[in-house]
Amino acid sequence: MNSLFTLMLVLHVLVAVLGLGSMLSIAVVALITRRAGRGPGEVLPWIASLLRLSAFSLATMLATGIILDLAAQGAFRGSWWFRGSVLLLIAGGALNGAARRTIRSGLVKQADHGFVLQRIERIAYAMCAVVAGITVLMEVKPF
C-alpha cells in the first residue's frame, strides 16, 4: 500500500466521522426545538452552519474516494459496491441541498414553524440513512 493511499484513507475516515457526524446533530436539534414548541428562527442559523459543514464533508468524501481509487490503480471503480456508494453520496448531496432550501424558505417565511423543523428533521434522518447505506456497502462489499 502506498503512502498516498494510506493518507487518503485516513482523511476519508476522519471526514466521515467528524464531518458527516453532524447530520445526526441536525436531526436532534430540529426534533428538540420542534417538540419544545420554539420557533425555528433561533436554531436555523446553527443548523445552516452544520449543513454547510456536511456539504463540505460530502465533497471531501467524493474527492478522497476518487483519489483512493486512483491510488489503488482503479481497483474499485469496476465494483458495484463502489458505484452504489458514489450514487448514495450524490443522493446525500441532493438531500443536503433540499435541507438548505428548506432553511432558506423557513427564514424568509417564518410561517409554519413546526413544518420547517419537521421537514429538516426528516431530511437529516434520510441523510443519516444514506451515510449508513454507504458504510454498509464500503464494509460488506456485497457485489
Tens of pLDDT along the chain (143 residues) come to 689 999 999 999 999 898 888 899 999 999 999 899 887 778 888 999 999 999 999 999 999 999 999 999 999 988 999 999 999 999 999 999 999 999 888 666 665 677 889 999 999 999 999 999 999 999 998 88
Contacts with 126 (C-beta within 8 Å, 6 or more apart), sequence order: 95
Domain that holds residue 74: 3-140
Q: Given this model, what pLDDT does residue 59 score?
A: 95
Q: What CATH number does residue 85 fall under?
A: 1.20.120
Q: From CA 48, how far away is CA 65, in angstroms rounded?
A: 25
List C-alpha distances in Å: 139 to 54, 92, 143.
21, 18, 11
What are 62's three cell numbers? Answer: 467524493
Q: At 141, give phi and psi (nearest 5°).
A: 50, 60
Q: From CA 20, how far away is CA 43, in angstroms rounded?
A: 19
Predicted TM-score (pTM) of the model is 0.89
Q: Given this model, what pLDDT does residue 41 score?
A: 79
Q: What's the domain count of the chain? A: 1
Q: Given this model, what pLDDT does residue 1 score?
A: 61
